[in-house]
Amino acid sequence: MFPTLCRLPNVEKHTKPLDGIDLTLSLLEQRKLDRTLFWQMGGRRAFRRGPWKYVKESKEAEMLFNLETDPGETTNLATQHAEILNQLKTRHAAISATFSAENIE
């Protein structure tokens, strides 16, 4: 959301990487966004792209859900769709690596 709040009033861009995406085109022109979501907190992490959501709780097994068919996240599809799980897990790790202590100051 922060990049959106900076762009709407024409605030100069921050020089460090910002967490979030610019939603201006979606808000002003009602364009549909291709949403890729990433989050992590403590031992919990998740990544969502399209209908797929990868989840890893600290001591739990890795989980994969199809939110189009299972919005309540009741059926873990990690075994049936191991390739998708690995793609999302790899993408999560790549984004996570960009959040070093230097970038979070």
Q: Do 44 and 4 fall within a single domain?
A: no
Q: Tell me, what CATH number does 63's domain have? A: 3.30.1120.10
Number of C-beta neighbours around residue 46 at 10 A: 18
83 vs 4: CA distance, rounded Å: 34
Q: Do 62 and 19 fall within a single domain?
A: no
Q: Do 90 and 102 fall within a single domain?
A: yes
Q: Do 41 and 17 fall within a single domain?
A: no
**pLDDT of amino acid 36:** 82
pTM assigned to the model: 0.67
Tokens encoding 43 = 């031992």
Q: Do 11 and 42 fall within a single domain?
A: no
Mean pLDDT of the residues in the chain? 81
Read off the pLDDT of residues 13-23 as tens digits, 9 standing for 90 and up. 666 666 676 77
Q: Do 11 and 61 fall within a single domain?
A: no
Nearest to 92 by CA among 53, 50, 35: 53
Q: Do 44 and 16 fall within a single domain?
A: no
Tokens encoding 1 = 């959301």
Burial of 89 (0-12, 13-18, 19+ CB in 10 A): middle
Q: Do 42 and 56 fall within a single domain?
A: yes
Question: Which residue did the predictor score with more confidence, 29 or 81?
Answer: 81
> Domain containing 75: what range?
34-105
Q: Do 28 and 41 fall within a single domain?
A: no
